[in-house]
A and B are shown apart, each in its own frame.
Chain A
């Protein structure tokens, strides 16, 4: 089988070597956890507990009635110390439930198996997924239950699992595929049933041959399940590019995978769905990679949500070299942190600690018009012109050049020899354009 891919993209240094071969280790149980009430794309949760309350591990501590949302659960048993604003690794600040662990890890008695895949119907499965607080674990943290509930006019025929893990340095998904293959496949079946899809596929980049082999075995030759080898290239794991490569379906501009009959989920998300169905376990812990040149002993770890970055770095031997940057996620799309005192959330796929020497120094020079950003753009945009307009505040022009189609993958900034902050400028322009569209939409109401 030949590896599939898409035009454009880049081949950065992958830096996965230090952790790819290391089995997941369970992180030491945290003494206190800070669990943000906002860990997903959509409306934040409201706290269901208050300071002084006793909580059990897995107990729901936050929820909301909003459609696009996912509840949050306690990741330890113990006492609620406070419900207060705390630093958040993706949103800056968010209201969080601070829990002091009693060290017992007593599981909430409410948690029990949901039933078997044969007896649960689509609606029941979606409810299980929602109640378990499952969100996309690849980074964007979109609520999974919402994803698998397409509007009635859209028919889903395929569930695709994303095992590309195209972000450099990160190996968490790789390990999940190796160590939890049965969960991944079970989760795929559950997701297929939840949205009524007849076929399922798992796409894996060909730099993970061991994962391809293990998953292949776990599929057991089922006729409706397929494994797809992807060429190793960034951003192969972008939903749109995954589908282009796997199915040759092109998501229309401004659309979603839904529009071409597919729902894409991360492999770790599927494993979490499997545990929710089989055992009723909500999403309160996840596998992530702590890595980068600054970390003494990079590892893949199973971590409770709410554990602080600093704690985990300590458990990896601390900093061997002075850290220049600590990133929530990978080097291409992750978010740089100003402090180590931020908690792991459901969407934290890695903690990347770049040593001072590894940190790219950006001193922008004049654009050479070399065209490399155009060649690299997986959306076939013209980043040099869009960013030039954006920098001069000409947002209409930027919009005309389809700035809104930018997926913010950062390929353009990566390749630019003049070190121009291309995606940064385009991101600002996108913000302006959507804000203006919203303003224009208002009087029409």
Chain B
């Protein structure tokens, strides 16, 4: 028992449960980075070294800013949870490939310092940091933020979405579905290749990092509504082109599914997807901008606390007492 006596001092006495899942914040965010990797590779392939530079500048600034925020609060650095790296990469994905490198630097700084840290850090922010930063950049530097280039030859052009929506520029032919699927179209850095995004999204679904509710509801709503609300009356739309163009895949799989800024229950996430889809279509077809994905997600971010309040699960035992 003498040995046990020495042992006693070293016993941890903490409250149950005494075992935990292996999943940690770091593991989940690491999985998101893996899920984003195919699209990052596609961006490098399509837009070359400038894409890599933008991604590096954006991720680097985000991580640095996160580190500084922790330091200023005299807290342990939170860069290890990888959420800052995810924000940086998502911001890069939402920028035109032609932007000068200071744009992602400012954008990431805004995303982390303003949108995230000012609201109390991870979990406190109600807007998706990458999307909010993009909206601010668009307002401040509209020219830089709407200068699109073609993949490979990097020549200036309009996006297919500009052709697709009623108020768009006429005369530019719509690319083939295959080009749109593979990503050989102009657009934001990480949004063009539906293939790469789907591969990463399926990985996240398989790893159960995200569930299907938001992406399926989002894409499904856009598909149905753009088909219904076609240019020549009910049922004359081109839903496939709508689904494959713009930021829809990126938004539905990686942005509207952001834990912090989306509802916490499965039913709430369904509402999130439906709302995002509806708003995207309304903005694309009737709004002033060709693209509506990021604004619709931001609007639904704001609505998330309300959705969470309505979509409470029915608790066990809410039965009539006999």
Contacts and interface: CB of A to CB of B under 8 A. Distances in A.
Give the dominant DSSP class at A's interface: loop
B260 A380 contact: no
Contacts of B316: 240, 244, 250, 253, 378-380, 405
A58 interface: no
A293 B173 CA distance: 67
Contact of A366 (B122, B266, B314): B122
B123 A336 contact: no
A317 to B, nearest CB: 13
B170 interface: no
Interface stretch (B22-30, B228-236, B247-255, B282-290): B22-30
Given A375-B266, A415-B21, A336 B11 contact: yes
Interface in A211-229: none
B16 A333 contact: yes
B140 interface: no
Interface size range of chain B in the complex: 35 or more
Contacts of A352: 18
A250 B123 contact: no
A369 interface: yes
Contact of A325 (B12, B264, B266, B312): B12
Contacts of A310: 1, 4
Contact of B23 (A313, A325, A341, A415): A415
A11 B265 CA distance: 20
Contacts of A49: none
B19 A331 contact: yes
Contacts of A319: 3, 7
A327 interface: yes
B-side binding surface: helix, strand, loop or mixed? loop
Interface string B99-125: 000000000000000000000111110
B20 interface: yes
Contacts of A252: 317-321
A391 interface: no
Contacts of B123: 366-369, 418
Interface in B1-56: 1, 3-4, 7-8, 10-21, 23-25, 27-28
Interface in A354-410: 354, 358-360, 362, 365-371, 374-375, 378-382, 384, 402, 405, 408, 410
Given A368-B260, A380-B313, A424 B23 contact: no
Contacts of A318: 3
B322 interface: yes
A12 to B, nearest CB: 6
A18 interface: no
B315 interface: yes
B321 A381 contact: no
A6 to B, nearest CB: 8
Interface stretch (A116-124, A254-262, A272-280): A254-262
B238 interface: no
Interface centre among B3, B20, B260 (most CB of A within 10 A): B20
B259 interface: yes
Contact of B317 (A335, A367, A379, A414): A379
Contact of B121 (A334, A354, A366): A366
Contacts of B19: 12-13, 168, 331-332, 354, 358, 360, 414
A336 B16 CA distance: 8
B61 to A, nearest CB: 21
A303 interface: no
B315 A374 contact: no
B7 A332 contact: no
Contacts of A77: none
A382 B263 CA distance: 12
B21 A362 contact: no
A337 interface: yes
A177 to B, nearest CB: 24
Given A359-B18, A423-B16, A326 B11 contact: yes
Contacts of A418: 24-25, 123
Contacts of A340: 4, 7-8
Nearest to B1: A310
Contact of B11 (A323, A331, A367): A323
A333 B322 CA distance: 31
A335 to B, nearest CB: 7
A79 interface: no
Interface string A1-30: 000000000101100000000000000000
A364 B265 CA distance: 22
Given A324-B10, A365-B81, A371-B264, A259 B321 contact: yes
A419 B24 contact: yes
B18 to A, nearest CB: 4
B11 A419 contact: no
Contacts of A255: 317, 321
B318 A374 contact: no
Contacts of A410: 16-17
A159 B81 CA distance: 49
Residue of B13, B19, B265 with most chain A CB atoms under a 10 A cut-off = B19
Closest 10 interchain pairs by CB?
Answer: A410-B17, A253-B317, A371-B264, A366-B123, A380-B313, A360-B20, A370-B259, A379-B316, A331-B19, A331-B18
Given A10-B21, A338-B8, 13 more contacts: A12-B19, A255-B321, A319-B3, A331-B16, A360-B20, A367-B123, A371-B269, A374-B313, A382-B264, A382-B313, A410-B16, A414-B20, A417-B27
Interface of B: 1, 3-4, 7-8, 10-21, 23-25, 27-28, 78, 81, 120-124, 259-260, 262-266, 269, 312-322
6 contacts: A259-B321, A310-B4, A368-B259, A375-B266, A410-B17, A419-B20
